[in-house]
Amino acid sequence: MDFTMGEAAASLRGELRRLIATEVPDGFLGAFTDDPADLAVAQRFSGVLAERGLLCAAWPERFGGRGASMWEQTVVREEMWAKHEPRGAQYMGVNWVGPTVMRHGTEQQQREHLPPIARGEVIWCQGFSEPDAGSDLASLRTAARPDGDGWLISGQKIWTSYATMAQWCFLLARTGSGERKQQGLTVFLLPMSAPGILVRPIRSMLGPHHLNEVFFDGVRATPADVLGRVGEGWSVVREVLAFERVGIARYARCERLLLTAPEVLGERWATLPAALPGRWARMLTRARRARLLAYQVIATQSTGTVDPADTAAYRIAVTRLDQESAALLTELAAHVPDEEGPRRWFRRAVDDHWRYANAATVASGSIEMQQILLARALLGGGRRNGEAA
């Protein structure tokens, strides 16, 4: 494969870095902190990107993008995640909700949902995991029971990021049954303001908005709320997971923090324990390996031939990178003086990275399920209907 992104991508990277330097405060560490001003920064910056056609750069122009290549969209992902995602929760709508609506939505759904995402005006949450259906998502019990010309949805979702702020939910519920548990599942696009939806935050070290329970008590859904065909939601979700698992360029933040470590340590770098610089070099190599694994998946997305095994291999590599780089960076940060300026930012950024990395191997599909999926592919049986997805 040729991983050269080209002049357009290089120019875009420079443009994004200038915008971030101008529009995002130096100490920004993400939108979802205890300070509401951080979320306000993200919402405002998303508008700035949208005005320039950069928020959804790879989307077709008729849907609010500018028809950029997938590689240019990858540049956007990398630059955003490296700088603690100044788009806030918009990346969910941009990376996979929007593309999925383009592929499977009706014209009405496309008109209703795609322009607000492209303008950075709407936040989505994902109604997938349940208390007894996390990695084994197809075992979910949230049920949509027929009622007149629609359904009444009842059940519980958990670990739902952004549910307290989202206007819409991309919900997977059971509408029927079949020989396999993956059958009889349907995707609904539901407004979070619908009667019968209750959100309860789950306090954690990740900060506000990331973890929530969502309860559905007789929530009304109509045929217009169904994405794709009734009972065929699993095939839609498989595509979603393929987009989602490469949609966050985790390697970019790891690489940025690793490269920043020698800068903030300065002369202290030469006095570190002998093993640390060697571990640092190996971790930097692993960050670049994860980048190339992501590029391998991205190269096939435009053709619609994404192999779940390739996605699993990337996820395994990048989540391990997340956690192991966090452990190394924590050791390095202990040698950085707690002084105002770049050094204090680095210490705070490493702490933030460590907290999020602890959840990396269970987010977007646990690493154990990714290993099962990859093993099945290597043994010749893993491409059958994506059971482990």
Residues of the domain holding 350: 249-378
Distance, CA of 223 to CA of 226 (rounded, Å): 5
Q: Which amino acid is at 219?
A: V
Q: Which residues contact 170 (CB under 8 A, 6 or more apart)?
A: 97, 100, 124, 125, 126, 127, 187, 189, 227, 240
What digits encode the pLDDT tens for the residues 47-75?
Answer: 999 999 999 988 999 998 888 888 898 99
CATH number of the domain within which 139 lies:
2.40.110.10
Residues 151 and 99 in one domain: no
Residue 386 lies in a domain: no
Go through the chain and tell me how many residues it has.
389
Distance, CA of 121 to CA of 382 (rounded, Å): 39
Q: Per 3-state DSSP, what percentage of the chain is helix, strand, and coil (rounded to 5)?
A: 50, 15, 35
- Which phi and psi (to 5°) does residue 130 adopt? -135, 165
Distance, CA of 170 to CA of 185 (rounded, Å): 13
Q: What is the largest CA-CA distance in the chain?
A: 73
Q: Give the pLDDT of residue 383.
A: 46
Quick one: CA dihedral 41, 47, 53, 59, positive or negative? positive
Residue 165 lies in a domain: yes
Which of 244, 267, 340, 387 is the catalytic position?
A: 244
Residues 218 and 323 in one domain: no
Q: Give the pLDDT of residue 8.
A: 87
Q: Give the pLDDT of residue 45.
A: 96
Q: Extract the tokens encoding 161.
A: 């990021």
pTM exceeding the 0.95 threshold for the entire prediction:
no
Beta partners for 279?
none
Residues 206 and 288 in one domain: no
Residues of the chain with pLDDT under 70: 1-4, 206-209, 242-247, 302-306, 360-367, 381-389
Residues 158 and 267 in one domain: no
What digits encode the pLDDT tens for the residues 141-158?
Answer: 999 999 999 999 999 999
Known active-site residue 7: no
Residue 243 lies in a domain: no
* Cα-to-chain-centroid distance, residue 177: 30
Q: Of 185, 201, 232, which marks where a domain is finished? A: 232
CATH number of the domain within which 51 lies:
1.10.540.10
Residues 214 and 272 in one domain: no
Q: Give the pLDDT of residue 38.
A: 92
Distance, CA of 163 to CA of 123 (rounded, Å): 9
Distance, CA of 176 to CA of 158 (rounded, Å): 22
Residue 168 lies in a domain: yes
Residues 256 and 368 in one domain: yes
CATH number of the domain within which 294 lies:
1.20.140.10
Residues 115 and 198 in one domain: no
Residues 210 and 301 in one domain: no
Residue 238 lies in a domain: no
Q: Of 198, 232, 266, which marks where a domain is finished? A: 232
- Which of 103, 102, 97, 183 is closest to 140 using CA atoms? 183
Q: Please state the domain count of the chain.
A: 3
Q: Is 385 left (phi over 0), alpha (psi -120 to 50) or beta?
A: left
Residue 45 lies in a domain: yes
Spell out the alpha helix ranges (H) of 210-340.
233-247, 250-265, 275-301, 308-333
Residues 364 and 266 in one domain: yes
Residue 237 lies in a domain: no
Residue 239 lies in a domain: no
Residues 374 and 257 in one domain: yes
Residues 143 and 116 in one domain: no
Residues 112 and 142 in one domain: no
Q: Extract the tokens encoding 277.
A: 């610089």
Q: Give the pLDDT of residue 389.
A: 39
